[in-house]
Amino acid sequence: QLIHLFEKGGTFGLEAVRDADASDFSAEEWTQFSEEEKQQVLLQYRLTYLSDTEVNWCPALGTVLANDEIINGVSERGGHTVTKKKMKQWSMRIGAYSERLLQGLETIDWPEPLKEMQRNWIGKSVGASVRFQIQNHSQEIEVFTTRPDTLFGVTFMTLAPELDLVREITTEEQKLAVKEYIDKASKRSERERMADVKSISGVFTGAYAKHPLTQEPIPIWIGDYVLAGYGTGAVMAVPCGDQRDYDFAKHFDLPIKNIFKGADISEAAFTEKSDTVALQNSDFLNGFTYVAAMEKVIAHIEENDCGEGTINYRLRDAIFSRQRYW
User: Model pTM?
Assistant: 0.79
∠ CA 267-273-276 to the nearest 5 degrees? 95
How far is Cα 179 from Cα 156, in angstroms, rounded to an integer?
20
Q: Residue 275's pLDDT is what?
A: 82
Q: Which residues contact 136 (CB under 8 A, 6 or more apart)?
A: none
* b (16+ CB within 10 A) / e for 43-55: ebbeeebeeebbb
How far is Cα 233 from Cα 227, in angstroms, rounded to an integer?
5
48-58 and 234-237 strand pairing: unpaired
Closest by Cα among 193, 182, 186 to 222:
182
Compute, in degrees rounded to 10, the torsion defined by CA atoms 97, 101, 102, 103: 100
Q: What is the DSSP string of 260-279?
A: BTT---SSS------SSSPB
High-pLDDT (> 90) share of the chain, %: 68
212: alpha, beta or left, given left = phi > 0 and alpha = psi -120 to 50? alpha
Spatial contact of 130 and 145, defined as CB atoms under 8 Å apart: yes
How far is Cα 310 from Cα 300, in angstroms, rounded to an integer?
14
Q: Residue 70's pLDDT is what?
A: 87
Q: What is the pLDDT of residues 102-141, one digit of tens each?
A: 999 999 999 999 999 999 999 999 999 999 999 999 889 9
Helix, strand, or coil here: 121? helix
How far is Cα 223 from Cα 31, in angstroms, rounded to an integer?
46
Alpha helix segments (H runs only) across the chain: 2-9, 27-32, 35-43, 98-104, 112-122, 164-169, 175-185, 190-195, 243-251, 290-303
Judged against a pLDDT cut of 90, whether residue 73 lies above it is answered with no
233: alpha, beta or left, given left = phi > 0 and alpha = psi -120 to 50? left
Mean pLDDT of the chain: 90
Q: Alpha carbon 320 to chain centroid distance?
A: 21
High-pLDDT (> 70) share of the chain, %: 97
Q: What is the pLDDT of residues 289-323, one digit of tens each?
A: 998 999 999 999 999 999 999 998 989 888 876 65
Judged against a pLDDT cut of 80, whether residue 196 lies above it is answered with no
Q: Residue 23's pLDDT is what?
A: 92
How far is Cα 248 from Cα 255, in angstroms, rounded to an integer?
10
Spatial contact of 297 and 283, defined as CB atoms under 8 Å apart: no
- In total, the chain counts a number of residues equal to 326
Any idea what DSSP says for residue 105?
G
307-313 and 203-210 strand pairing: unpaired
Judged against a pLDDT cut of 80, whether residue 324 lies above it is answered with no
Q: What is the pLDDT of residues 223-277, one digit of tens each?
A: 988 887 777 889 999 999 999 999 999 999 999 999 999 999 999 999 988 788 9
